[in-house]
Amino acid sequence: MFTPLIHGRFHGWKIGTDDSFTGLDDSYNVFVGDSSKGLSGHATGGNDSYSAGSNATNLFFGDAVLDLSSFAHGGDDSFNWVKHGTSNASTSNVFWGDSGGSLTGHAVGGNDSCSVTGGYSTTTFFGDAGADMSGYAHGGNDEFHAMTAPNSVNVFYGDAGGDMFGQAHGGSDTYTCRVEFSSHTFFGDAGGNMSGNAVGGNDAAIAIGGDGTFTFYGDAGNNITGNAHGGDDNFQTTGQGQTFYGDAGGDMSGHATGGNDTYNTGTISPILHAATFYGDAGGDLHGYAHGGNDTFITNATSTTFYGDAGGSLFEHASGGNDFVNAGITHGVTAPTVAVFYGDAGDNLFGASHGGNDQFTLTANGSSTIDVYGDAGGNISDHATGGNDTLTYTVSSGSPSCTFYGDAGGALYGDAKGGNDACVITGQSHQSLTATNTFYGDAGIEMTGHTLGGNDSFTGGANSTNVAYGDTSNMSDYAHGGNDVLAGGNDTTAPANSTYDNTLVGDAQIMADHAQGGNDTLISGTGNDDMWGDAQLMLGAAKGGNDTFVFNFNNGHDKIEDFGQGRSGIGSNLGTDHIDVSALGIHDFGELSISTFDATTHESTITFSPGNDIVVHSQVALTAHDFLFI
């Protein structure tokens, strides 16, 4: 059934009437709200409504089959389908809120709504245009309400099924759905690309229910280029199996800017399956593209988070300052694996810059968590990592967490690490058997003329903590940052010569002309194995001037590489100090130090029964080696 109200173009100052149509069951229904062709001039579409037939194909053009152009304005049209009858046959619905073609000129889309409820259906809703939006066209604020039966397929294009370019502006669209065993795809603004000076609307999706798939593109299904700007989009869900692209499913380039997007599943009741979040782009950020300041809040058993790009940041691209609040819950049938990339899943290179990202995480059970402050791969050329922060709480069990302050791989060329911080706490006084590992800048190596950031680490209580201030290996002319590493506080320290904290100021291995930073290593109440520079020094590598800090109840600690600025063995270790001011010690005479063993180069400082330090030094300790009150 086909019922166009106007045969031909609707133009001039014409105003469409407000029409209502009811489709037939078991039929092929086509309804055109105003014009079988286009709307132009200052024409305005009516506020039309269509009640769709069941077990049928329903096509509804809210205003025009073709384009809206000039100053045309779409009406506020509505499409409603409610399953009736006993047949379980599928119903197919397509609703073009304003135009089956494009919106151009200064055309404005209406505030259209689509509601599908009940049975099994396939529904596609184009909020404004089936094709493109260009010129100064502006999309309406459209709504799609989908509460369909399992196995349904729903697709919502908030503004354009194709591209948005020129000065086009998307509306603020809303999609509410029940996910259960169905497929949902949401394009907040454009199914294709956004370019020129196009601006995405502030779109929202609310999804409830269990198993199913939901893919959310906040602005564009493909790329955002030129000076286009993504909107501030919001996705709230209690469902499972979601993939969220805050701005673009593809790349962002030129001077494109991502919106400040939010993904929120809540932090109380866990969802049971994967959630994947791309704060800005599923691909790369390059040119001068800039990621938005995105927020990710979830309590999931499996999570992957890319703060800005699933791929790389390069040229002059920069990441946004993203925020994560996540509860990582042990899976029902398998341990959880959660991965967080502050900026890029792959690499940072060129002159790109990571954002200052914040991660607040809680974990239990046997969860495995990896946090990359900036890049999952490498940082090279003149790229710089952001100043990232991880606050991590172990609630129970034996989770494992590894934090790479900047890169999971390497720092090459003239790359610089950010000033990153990691603080680990525990909610339990019992032995948690948790394992925490920290690399201040890179997980594998630093080479070339790279520079590590001034990073900090506070180990978790009653846990095993291993911290490297900069990386595993430093070579060439790499330079470590001035890092601060603190061991965890144990309820009861382990036996002597058993260490639950390993604190290494710079790296496992330093070689060539690598230079260590001036690091500060702080003992906790556990047993700390402390290395101011590296566990192995090779070539012309040189350590920094490090400080080892002690307090009451320090346990049984060891300083493995205490440098005293002397020639001979250990001359490459710098000039280090032992800070005992917190113990109220005023001078060298108040210390209890064993005789220096010239063979092992060790002596023992005893503060009280069960609290001491074995110091491996160049020569016997003197007052010059200490910092007193």
126 and 158 Cβ atoms separated by less than 8 Å:
no
150 and 120 Cβ atoms separated by less than 8 Å:
yes
Beta-carbon count within 10 A of 30 CB = 18
pLDDT in tens, 38-62: 999 999 999 999 999 999 999 999 9
CA–CA separation, 263 vs 272, rounded Å? 16
Among 210, 245, 280, the domain-final residue is 245
Output the domain CATH number for residue 507: 2.150.10
Q: Does a structural domain hold residue 583?
A: yes
pLDDT in tens, 68-99: 999 999 999 999 998 876 666 689 999 999 99
pLDDT tier for residue 394 given thresholds of 50, 70 and 90: confident
Least confident of 98-107, 393-402, 468-477: 393-402
Distance of CA 542 to the CA centre of its chain: 37
Q: What are phi and psi of 175, to 5 degrees?
A: -125, 125
pLDDT of residue 181: 81
Distance of CA 249 to the CA centre of its chain: 15
CA–CA separation, 411 vs 159, rounded Å? 42
CA–CA separation, 497 vs 474, rounded Å? 28
Distance of CA 569 to the CA centre of its chain: 47
Please give the share of the chain, as a percent, with pLDDT higher than 90.
79
pLDDT in tens, 615-629: 999 999 999 999 999
Residue 362 Cα distances to 268, 330, 369, angstroms: 12, 11, 10
Q: Does a structural domain hold residue 84?
A: yes
Q: Could you write out the DSSP letters of every residue in 341-364? A: ESSBSS-B-TT-B----EEEEEE-
- The amino acid present at 5, given as its one-letter code, is L
267 token code pair: 């932090």
Least confident of 157-161, 167-171, 468-472, 495-499: 495-499
CA–CA separation, 250 vs 220, rounded Å? 8
**pLDDT above 80: residue 370:** yes
CA–CA separation, 391 vs 375, rounded Å? 18
Per the structure, the count of domains in the chain is 2
pLDDT tier for residue 66 given thresholds of 50, 70 and 90: very high
382 and 415 Cβ atoms separated by less than 8 Å:
yes
pLDDT tier for residue 595 given thresholds of 50, 70 and 90: very high
Q: What is the mean pLDDT of residues 402-430?
A: 91
pLDDT of residue 330: 58
Residue 594 Cα distances to 40, 429, 529, 621, angstroms: 95, 34, 19, 10
Q: Does a structural domain hold residue 182?
A: yes
Closest to 285 (Cα-Cα) out of 262, 308, 307, 259: 308
Q: Which helix (H) or strand (E) holds 316?
A: none
pLDDT of residue 207: 87
530 token code pair: 């402390």
Q: Does a structural domain hold residue 502?
A: yes
- The amino acid present at 408, given as its one-letter code, is G
Q: Does a structural domain hold residue 507?
A: yes
Beta-carbon count within 10 A of 323 CB = 18
Please give the share of the chain, as a percent, with pLDDT higher than 70.
93
Q: Which residue has the higher pLDDT, 443 or 118?
A: 443
389 token code pair: 């922060």
Domain that holds residue 601: 435-629
Among 216, 245, 274, the domain-final residue is 245
CA–CA separation, 323 vs 420, rounded Å? 15
Beta-carbon count within 10 A of 24 CB = 13
Residue 405 Cα distances to 320, 323, 388, 529, 623, angstroms: 16, 15, 7, 22, 36
- Helix, strand, or coil (residue 92): strand
Q: Does a structural domain hold residue 253?
A: no
Q: What is the mean pLDDT of residues 302-307?
A: 91
Least confident of 159-163, 237-241, 279-283, 339-343: 237-241
CA–CA separation, 417 vs 407, rounded Å? 8
Residue 56 Cα distances to 29, 51, 65, 87, angstroms: 7, 12, 20, 11
3-state helix, strand, coil in the chain (%, to 5): 0, 40, 55
Q: Does a structural domain hold residue 395?
A: no
Beta bridge mates, 125:
95, 156
pLDDT of residue 158: 97
Q: What is the mean pLDDT of residues 310-320?
A: 98
Q: Rounded to two decimals, what is the model's pTM?
A: 0.94
pLDDT in tens, 458-490: 999 888 999 999 999 999 999 999 999 999 998
Q: Does a structural domain hold residue 98?
A: yes
